[in-house]
Protein backbone atom coordinates (compact mmCIF):
# COMPACT_ATOMS: atom_id res chain seq x y z
CA UNK A 1 0.00 0.00 0.00
CA UNK A 2 1.08 3.60 -0.42
CA UNK A 3 1.20 6.31 2.24
CA UNK A 4 2.69 9.81 2.38
CA UNK A 5 5.61 10.37 4.76
CA UNK A 6 6.65 14.01 5.16
CA UNK A 7 5.10 14.76 1.78
CA UNK A 8 6.69 11.89 -0.16
CA UNK A 9 5.01 8.70 -1.35
CA UNK A 10 6.25 5.54 0.34
CA UNK A 11 5.23 1.93 -0.05
CA UNK A 12 4.66 0.00 3.17
CA UNK A 13 3.55 -3.53 3.90
CA UNK A 14 0.15 -4.50 5.21
CA UNK A 15 0.01 -4.57 8.98
CA UNK A 16 2.77 -2.00 9.43
CA UNK A 17 2.41 0.25 12.46
CA UNK A 18 3.73 3.72 13.16
CA UNK A 19 6.39 2.10 15.38
CA UNK A 20 7.57 -0.24 12.63
CA UNK A 21 7.69 2.66 10.16
CA UNK A 22 9.89 4.65 12.54
CA UNK A 23 12.13 1.63 13.04
CA UNK A 24 12.41 1.12 9.27
CA UNK A 25 13.38 4.79 8.89
CA UNK A 26 15.93 4.43 11.73
CA UNK A 27 14.17 7.10 13.79
CA UNK A 28 14.02 6.91 17.58
CA UNK A 29 10.40 7.16 18.71
CA UNK A 30 11.37 9.06 21.86
CA UNK A 31 12.86 11.89 19.81
CA UNK A 32 9.92 12.69 17.53
CA UNK A 33 6.27 13.62 17.42
CA UNK A 34 4.10 11.96 14.78
CA UNK A 35 1.12 13.54 13.10
CA UNK A 36 -1.16 11.08 11.34
CA UNK A 37 -3.86 12.50 9.09
CA UNK A 38 -3.62 15.90 10.84
CA UNK A 39 -3.83 14.38 14.36
CA UNK A 40 -0.88 14.25 16.76
CA UNK A 41 -0.52 10.69 18.03
CA UNK A 42 0.17 9.82 21.62
CA UNK A 43 3.54 8.05 21.76
CA UNK A 44 1.81 5.12 23.52
CA UNK A 45 -0.19 4.50 20.33
CA UNK A 46 2.83 4.09 18.01
CA UNK A 47 2.97 0.31 18.59
CA UNK A 48 -0.72 -0.31 18.00
CA UNK A 49 -1.75 2.24 15.36
CA UNK A 50 -1.73 0.44 12.03
CA UNK A 51 -1.12 2.33 8.82
CA UNK A 52 -3.77 2.35 6.08
CA UNK A 53 -3.75 3.07 2.38
CA UNK A 54 -3.49 6.82 1.77
CA UNK A 55 -2.46 7.77 5.32
CA UNK A 56 -0.49 11.00 5.63
CA UNK A 57 2.30 10.83 8.19
CA UNK A 58 4.39 13.81 9.30
CA UNK A 59 7.37 13.07 11.52
CA UNK A 60 8.52 16.07 13.53
CA UNK A 61 11.95 16.11 15.16
CA UNK A 62 12.77 18.06 18.27
CA UNK A 63 15.61 20.54 17.92
CA UNK A 64 17.41 21.89 20.96
CA UNK A 65 18.64 25.40 21.29
CA UNK A 66 17.86 28.65 22.94
CA UNK A 67 18.52 32.33 23.14
CA UNK A 68 22.01 33.66 23.48
pLDDT in tens, the chain (68 residues): 999 999 999 999 999 999 999 999 999 999 999 999 999 999 999 999 999 999 999 999 877 776 66
pLDDT at 55: 98
pLDDT at 50: 97
CB 53 within 8 A of CB 1: yes
pTM (two decimals) = 0.87
Q: Which residues contact 45 (CB under 8 A, 6 or more apart)?
A: 18
* Domains of the chain: residue spans and CATH: 2-61 (3.10.20.30)
pLDDT at 68: 65
Q: Considering only CA atoms, which of 68, 31, 37, 41 is closest in space to residue 52?
A: 37
Give CA separation, 62 vs 2, 3, 8, 21, in Å: 26, 23, 20, 18
Amino acid sequence: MTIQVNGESRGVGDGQTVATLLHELDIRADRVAVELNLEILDRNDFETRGLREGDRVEILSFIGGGAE
